[in-house]
Amino acid sequence: MNERSYGSGADSVQQLEEVLEQMTDNGDFKAIVLASDEGLPLAAVPSPYDSDTTAAMVALLQRVSREARDQLDMAKVDEVTISDCERIRLVCRYLEVDGDLLILAVMVPPNTYYRRVTNRAVRRIKDILCPN
């Protein structure tokens, strides 16, 4: 997130973690990480997955999706999803906050809806990091 400081530091991180915890409660997700596009975790909820590794992987996915978008002359990418053979999905939602690209990564169990919960979280994250 470059050198910018959003909100009041520790308070913002705590608020972000609360948003992610509410996502877990509302969506029964296996893991949630909010990361910078450089792969640094900004907030996460406890999970069996390492948040540092997850943040780095979602940043890599973001770079690959940006390259594909550029090569195919597509509009801005909203989300990237990877599904495994057990129908578990890694969903990466992209959001821009004050000129910085952030990635909300969610491990979604089979047969679980995620879009409404992530839409709500994206709005709340933007409100926390860039209040008007």
Inter-residue contact 3 to 22 (CB < 8 Å): no
Would the pLDDT of 32 be above 90? yes
Note the pLDDT of residue 52: 84
**Rounded distance between C-alpha atoms, residue 57 and residue 98, angstroms:** 23
Strand order through the sheet with 41-44: 41-44, 31-36, 100-108, 89-97, 79-83
Would the pLDDT of 4 be above 80? no
Whole-structure pTM value:
0.86
CATH number for the region 10-129 comes to: 3.30.450.30
Would the pLDDT of 9 be above 50? yes
DSSP string of 24-83, one letter each residue: HHHH--SEEEEEETTS-EEEE---SS-HHHHHHHHHHHHHHHHHHHHHHT-----EEEEE
Work out the average pLDDT over 2-17: 69
For the chain, the average pLDDT equals 87
The domain spans of the chain are: 10-129
The CA–CA distances, whole Å, from 123 to 65, 67, 74 equal 23, 26, 24
Residue with tokens 């809806």: 113
